Amino acid sequence: MAIDYRGDPPPLIPANYLKYHLPYFTPQEVETLSEKQRGKLSVTQEEKARQQACGFIEAIGSDIGFPRKTIATAQNLYHRFHLFFPRKDFAYHDVCLAALLVSCKIHDTLKKTRDLLVASYGVRYPERAAKAKSMGGEIDIDPNVMEGDRQRVLAIERLIVETICFNFNTRSPFPYVIKISRAFGATKKLAKLAYRLATD
């Protein structure tokens, strides 16, 4: 079927640019995407950045009292985000907070963005947090700084939701660890070890 262009020809660049992300990846795809987004970082530098970010998520999640599945999902979302977006373009703490925010929504452990920001300031600035606790309050942060941070986190949250293909159904390894442990008659000690390994 021939297309008849009457009037102006269509623009060469589409008006809306959509980027689709696949929900699952092969190990080769993960390696390729990781290398592409790594940029000039070495593998060890990238691993240190990942560990630092996961530790940050763990610290905030523990301070707030999130369940293990919420923290683990946030860490997974952080890693998935950086398969599509380079680390140099985003501050790790902003991406971590956005990942925690999406994870909270996935697992119905709702917290406001402000609560996450206040907890993150406590982790990022421990001396100010200790001073505020001794005075019986929370860290005093400039409202303009707080609003700027909130806007950045919400913008990154949209990108994270895009990387999970707008699918809020996640599979957590924890129920499978328990079921498999029961099916094989594993001891409680072995089941706990398997559960701890699943958290990593």
pLDDT at 6 over 50: no
Sorted by where each starts, the structural domains of the chain and their CATH numbers stand as 42-169 (1.10.472.10), 173-200 (no CATH)
pLDDT of amino acid 54:
94
The model's pLDDT over 19-73, given as tens digits with 9 standing for 90+, comes to: 555 566 788 988 888 888 888 888 899 999 999 999 999 999 999 999 988 999 9
- 41-45, 162-166, 188-192 — which is least confidently predicted? 162-166
| Percent above pLDDT 90 for the chain | 38
* Residue 157: other Cβ atoms inside 10 A: 21
Burial of 69-108, coded b for 16+ CB within 10 Å and e otherwise, reads bbbbbbbbbbebbbbeeebeebebbbbbbbbbbbbbebbe
Give the mean pLDDT of 174-178: 81
- Looking at residue 2, its pLDDT comes to 46
Tokens of 116: 């996450």
Going 92 to 97 to 98 to 104, the CA torsion angle's sign is: positive
* Full-model pTM: 0.75
B/e letters for 36-65, b = 16+ CB within 10 Å, e = fewer, are ebbeeeeeeebeeebeebbebbbbbbeebe
Residue type, 195: Y
Please tell me which residue, 176 or 99, carries the higher pLDDT value: 99
Identify the pLDDT of residue 127.
Answer: 78
Please give, one letter per residue, the 3-state secondary structure of the chain.
Answer: CCCCCCCCCCCCCCCCCCCCCCCCCCHHHHHHHHHHHHCCCCHHHHHHHHHHHHHHHHHHHHHHCCCHHHHHHHHHHHHHHHHHCCHHHCCHHHHHHHHHHHHHHHCCCCCCHHHHHHHHHHHHCHHHHHHHHHCCCCCCCCHHHHHHHHHHHHHHHHHHHHHCCCCCCCCCCHHHHHHHHHHCCCCHHHHHHHHHHHHC
Q: Which pLDDT band holds residue 4 (cuts at 50, 70, 90)?
A: very low
